[in-house]
Structure formats: C-alpha cells, structure tokens
Amino acid sequence: MSKALKLSVPDMTCGHCKAAVERAIATTDASAKVQVDLATHTVAVETSAPTEAVLKALSGEGYEARVL
C-alpha cells in the first residue's frame, strides 16, 4: 500500500540536489513517484517504503529531511 509523504529538505538547492534526492528515494522504492520543488525545498513522495527508510536514504546522500 502506498502513502503520500511531504518532506522538507532545506539543503536541496539545485538540479544536482534534485537528482540526488530522486536517486536516494528510488533506492528504497523504485516505483515511488517523486515531485521535487526546489523553490520551496520540498519533496512530495508517493511510496510503499516506510517513512524511516526514505528519511534514512536521504540522510545517506547528505540531505536531512523532515516530514511536514
């Protein structure tokens, strides 16, 4: 069952960041739907992966995120 998450990722500022965030989330759920908004530093994710797994994957890429 998939769920929708909205995350704040304050250090995400450029296209490289966007790609790294998308790649990190894909490692936890290859079928996740990810929408990155660089202007607001937010990420909307529809995933079946546990929230903690998504946050841990982002942290592994150097992006501290929190659920909004």
In this model, does residue 51 exceed pLDDT 90?
Answer: yes
Work out how many domains the chain is built from and give that number: 1
Q: What is the pLDDT of residue 43?
A: 98
pLDDT in tens, 3-48: 999 999 999 999 999 999 999 999 999 999 999 999 999 999 999 9
This prediction's pTM: 0.91
pLDDT in tens, 55-65: 999 999 999 99
What is the distance between the alpha carbons of residues 9 and 2, in angstroms, rounded to a whole number?
Answer: 21
Domain that holds residue 57: 3-67
What is the distance between the alpha carbons of residues 36 and 4, in angstroms, rounded to a whole number?
Answer: 13
